[in-house]
Structure 1
């Protein structure tokens, strides 16, 4: 028993020695982290009681006097977040959603000094914003590190203001890199188990050398609190955004004009690839840079300007970061053979929201003439819809409740098998079928639902 006791003590001591001592690091870093409080004025006005169960009934007039006595005029909402000083002249990096549409932005430093900040520039697509406070003396600024060099398993420290509790320190490790969580087209998040909660948004994620390697921006939570999964924008992405915001107040992104999709293992085998990699071109924008360079639908983009495209979502981020006007080499696979073309990168048009201009990945919030958005039919949807292997089509991923499709009886989760008797086996097929409608205002859909198949007639004038 004595021997066992000594063994346990030895293990505990070794474990303690392996854990990093963060006291000196945190003491040095606290001054570069700030508390951000924003306020926004909203105009009030007399209106009918929202969600009034007695609306349009004899009882409605009983409730209106209460609405009339409610405060009218300006109402104020407040938001709390964090930020990190990245320049001694008072430039602070934070999340766009922390300061977006704010009427006033107050910044509190660790020494309790408060300043009113102005927005230098913001970029909703990356959820980053650059603000500045008026300072007479130089501030301590954080050092920006290299998020590409950080490895999974590396220790990290988050400092911020979760739930308004200023200068709170949490630690953990990098759990994963290159995460996409559906927030936009330019996703390459660092995942960490360092506790991140509401109020941490915009705050820095440090490595053990005190370098900022990420900007904390999101949590995965069913309760609104910490669940061991947080996400940070890689600082290498932020560097490019900050440089542009500082010089012009806006961000310009590259664009080549292609629609892309993921290369599955099945597609890889059919295309002559040993492994599933690259971005499969599903559409080429007319008169766009890619078409002018000779890119065709069915090509697989393997490298862009010397950078490997491991996964489909790598391409939009790399293209977006490429300087507009540059002519760059693009390695593609066509008919089982690799070749290289030169593409001159243009500026991302305002109506596009993806660097690769993919209709399937861009404009995620927009719907088509039927008021729907479709996606490829996967195994999960096939199981959920009790569909046989012979059913092929596209899934209604999003539907406008006021759109023509919804009014005709179409539902989210339905699988569209054909459009006007033209089979659709992919989102690209569906888009082509919709493009052929022209002036035809009547659409006949064959839809798989709950293990059966039915026809739905949609009138686009509805």
Structure 2
């Protein structure tokens, strides 16, 4: 009985789907047996939908026209081998595992020296004389790079340069009159727009997958310099370095990463915007390397509680939790507790927007910063430095909730504690309870600021808490690292 009930429901759903498809088809008019529906239709009096019709891009034409611009990349190299593969000699369990025989044979467990490595990825031709863009991680540690075209011709490629910070590499093959992919403007992409990927997932060359733009300007934890394009295009190992096309057949990104709990595609794919990749390509072709600017701050997200603490209208911007000594930021007068709202006129909505802008700017460039400090909007100009390593990071994000009073037992720092913490003023947290505990404050933390003002004494903290309506932002130092923790004040 249950089974027949179930079978009866399926056709009804199918009929409804077909009817719905008929009503929404065409350019707004509905046709039954070749006759257009008239105004007498009961649907005619209803409000018209926002989108009357949607036209799918011609995926077949894009793949046919630009598939030859996509290449398969094979790499070979050597990687230093530990005595026990997969276990570092520095690992505490190294001696333990060394006692057991290796399933690959006694010789393999004692093998010394480098091991051969093999890998595959994708890329695409950007100039008829053989310039190819791909990901830096595709050619990492490669001593030999082979590029295979869609017509199955193979070329030995030279790596002109590689930039790990943006994950861009530029290859060159000795060939002429090659088909090249046109480059588009990723800033014109809209969320929900169709996009197409071509690459070699798991070695299946020239595979085509399609989806939509899920979001723009995504900041990922390990790539703060790149404002990624997020899509739901099926991307798997081997797609790395391949192009992401828009509906016009223009490359708007380079497929670079996926977020997955299985190692395979789970609906979250990320591409490097092509304008950033093209900038890096130009620098690498000219100088063999890419340069990145440095401001010299650590920033964190501004949530609603922090926005309330700093009296901001909305939770936007990059909250400066620390400023590097002698950095461009310090020379420009930036302070911990400043909230950067704009950089060169561009709004900083999420904290990740700032490092992405700075990391792609030129060293030596003057950048105008609009900051929020103590209820006022100020402007500062910083001459950006040149970064040698990625020291512009997002500080740990905090989603603090809590009720009750501040809940801190504090005492002034002793001179030796000040020297150890390398601070002139501050209060040592001895006990934590209530809202402060829920916010993440811990005994042993050094409280050095409240609501962007340096802490000098207990009375100053008490006065600030009395005047706070919803919350206060505590700047604490823990193990040499500074971070703001928002603490709610109730009652």
Is TM (by shorter chain) over 0.5?
Answer: yes
Residues 20-59 of structure 1 correspond to what in structure 2 (within 5 A)? 20-42=57-79
- Structural RMSD (CA): 3.8
Residues 49 and 64 in structure 1, CA contact (< 8 A), matched pair in contact too:
no
For residue 164 of structure 1, what is the aligned residue in structure 2? 203
Q: 1:232, 1:62 → 2: CA distance? A: 43
Residues 418 and 424 in structure 1, CA contact (< 8 A), matched pair in contact too:
no
CA-CA distance at 1:270 after TM superposition: 2.4
TM-score by length of 2: 0.70
For residue 205 of structure 1, what is the aligned residue in structure 2? 244
* Larger displacement relative to structure 2 (64-73 or 103-112): 64-73
For residue 141 of structure 2, what is the aligned residue in structure 1? 101
Residues 301 and 397 in structure 2, CA contact (< 8 A), matched pair in contact too:
no
Decide which of 122, 128, 133 is 2:173's aligned counterpart.
133
Residues 363 and 386 in structure 2, CA contact (< 8 A), matched pair in contact too:
yes
Residues 43 and 75 in structure 1, CA contact (< 8 A), matched pair in contact too:
yes
Residues 34 and 107 in structure 1, CA contact (< 8 A), matched pair in contact too:
yes
SS class of match (1:273): coil
Change (3 A) 1:81 1:391: farther
Q: 2:321, 2:121 → 1: CA distance? A: 40
Asked whether 1:233 is paired with 2:253, we answer: no
For residue 194 of structure 2, what is the aligned residue in structure 1? 155
* Larger displacement relative to structure 2 (5-14 or 116-125): 5-14
Query: How many residue pairs align between the two structures?
Result: 388
For residue 250 of structure 1, what is the aligned residue in structure 2? 289
Decide which of 145, 151, 159 is 1:111's aligned counterpart.
151
SS class of match (1:297): coil
Asked whether 1:287 is paired with 2:334, we answer: no
SS class of match (2:244): strand
Q: 1:62, 1:4 → 2: CA distance? A: 64
Residues 176 and 191 in structure 1, CA contact (< 8 A), matched pair in contact too:
yes
Unpaired runs of 5+ residues, structure 1, are 362-374, 394-414, 437-462
Change (3 A) 1:222 1:6: closer
For residue 222 of structure 1, what is the aligned residue in structure 2? 261
Residues 48 and 64 in structure 1, CA contact (< 8 A), matched pair in contact too:
no
Q: 2:390, 2:215 → 1: CA distance? A: 26
Asked whether 1:418 is paired with 2:443, we answer: yes
Q: 1:114, 1:239 → 2: CA distance? A: 25
CA-CA distance at 1:376 after TM superposition: 5.6
Q: 1:423, 1:219 → 2: CA distance? A: 39
Q: 2:192, 2:481 → 1: CA distance? A: 49
Deviation per CA, 1:133-171, whole angstroms, max 9, x where unpaired?
111x22111111111110001111100001100000111
Deviation per CA, 1:183-221, whole angstroms, max 9, x where unpaired?
222232111112111110100000011111110011122
Residues 289 and 344 in structure 1, CA contact (< 8 A), matched pair in contact too:
yes
Change (3 A) 1:94 1:159: same
Change (3 A) 1:62 1:273: closer
Q: 1:192, 1:183 → 2: CA distance? A: 18
Change (3 A) 1:209 1:61: closer
Residues 306 and 329 in structure 1, CA contact (< 8 A), matched pair in contact too:
yes
Q: 1:315, 1:196 → 2: CA distance? A: 28
Q: 2:231, 2:86 → 1: CA distance? A: 44
For residue 476 of structure 2, what is the aligned residue in structure 1? 429
Q: 1:256, 1:270 → 2: CA distance? A: 25
Change (3 A) 1:324 1:205: same
Q: 1:91, 1:40 → 2: CA distance? A: 22
CA-CA distance at 1:33 after TM superposition: 0.3
Residues 29 and 142 in structure 1, CA contact (< 8 A), matched pair in contact too:
yes
Asked whether 1:175 is paired with 2:217, we answer: no
Unpaired runs of 5+ residues, structure 2, are 1-11, 28-52, 410-439, 450-472, 483-491
Structure number with greater Rg is 2
Change (3 A) 1:389 1:120: farther
For residue 321 of structure 1, what is the aligned residue in structure 2? 360
Change (3 A) 1:377 1:258: closer
Residues 47 and 67 in structure 1, CA contact (< 8 A), matched pair in contact too:
no
